[in-house]
């Protein structure tokens, strides 16, 4: 399941994040790629610093508090965050992200754009499923959540600059099909409540979700 979220931050928060990211020092992105992925990776990434960690702390806080992120991902932890900069000619060829980072299993990946879509040409996040590629051109503040198991790439940037925070989530529920069922139950509960209030049907949906969560959540 792939989900795009557009309201993680408001305009003032995004401007502050963008400004803070622009003041950071950047180095070769190949240093954070695996043995094979570094062969197809061409970008810059923010070097470790207190200022970078402050940006990451804001992103973690916002994501863990966001209703849709919580429903779709069931986040247990954010395993890792990186801040990537793509200029003209930069790209990241087809690859699959590492299954374990910093001792955490990676279940979902995300990209949070800190650039407006008009600020760069190319640079789409492309999901490859063997039948048809799906390209996502992210605007300022757009966040896309997708399975870490997906083969994907960042198309070459032809003009301008693409700035984005990427990260990986460890879910309480490792099976993506089970996460989707729980998300569907969340959506069903909201629809019932919005249309009819608290009803016996709503109680049954919550009971099913609670009992499935007990069965499926990691120990």
* pLDDT (tens digit per residue) in 39-62: 899 999 999 999 999 999 999 999
Strand, coil or helix: what is 58? Answer: helix
CB 126 within 8 A of CB 157: no
pLDDT of residue 34: 75
- Give the integer Cα–Cα distance in Å for 37 and 151: 12
Higher pLDDT residue, 37 or 96? 96
- Mean of all residue pLDDT scores within the chain: 95
pTM value is 0.93
- DSSP state at residue 6: -
DSSP notation for 70-131:
HHHH-EEEEEEEEEEEE-TT-EEEEE---SEETTEE--EEEEEE-S-GGGEEE--EEEE-SS
The CATH number of the domain covering residues in 3-171? 2.60.120.620
Give the domain ranges of the chain.
3-171, 176-216
pLDDT of residue 219: 58
Query: Position of tokens 């801040």?
Result: 83
pLDDT of residue 99: 95
């Amino acid at each position: 399941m792939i989900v795009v979220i557009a309201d993680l931050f408001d305009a003032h928060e995004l401007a502050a994040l963008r400004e803070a990211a622009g003041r950071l020092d950047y180095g070769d992105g190949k240093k954070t790629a695996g043995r094979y992925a570094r062969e197809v990776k061409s970008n810059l990434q923010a070097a470790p610093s207190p200022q970078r960690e402050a940006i990451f702390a804001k992103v973690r806080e916002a994501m863990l508090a966001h209703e849709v992120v919580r429903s779709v991902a069931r986040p247990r932890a954010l395993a890792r965050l990186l801040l990537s900069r793509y200029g003209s000619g930069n790209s990241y060829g087809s690859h699959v992200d590492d299954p374990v980072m910093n001792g955490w299993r990676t279940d979902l990946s995300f990209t949070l754009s800190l650039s407006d879509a008009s600020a760069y040409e190319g640079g789409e996040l492309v999901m490859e499923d063997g039948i048809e590629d799906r390209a996502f051109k992210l605007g300022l503040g757009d966040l896309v959540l997708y399975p870490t198991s997906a083969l994907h790439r960042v198309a070459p940037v032809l003009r301008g600059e693409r700035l984005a925070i990427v990260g990986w989530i460890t879910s309480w529920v490792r099976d993506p099909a089970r996460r989707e069922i729980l998300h569907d139950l969340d959506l069903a509960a909201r629809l019932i409540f919005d249309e009819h209030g608290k009803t016996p049907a709503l109680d049954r949906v919550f009971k099913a979700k609670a009992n499935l969560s007990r069965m499926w959540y990691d120990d």
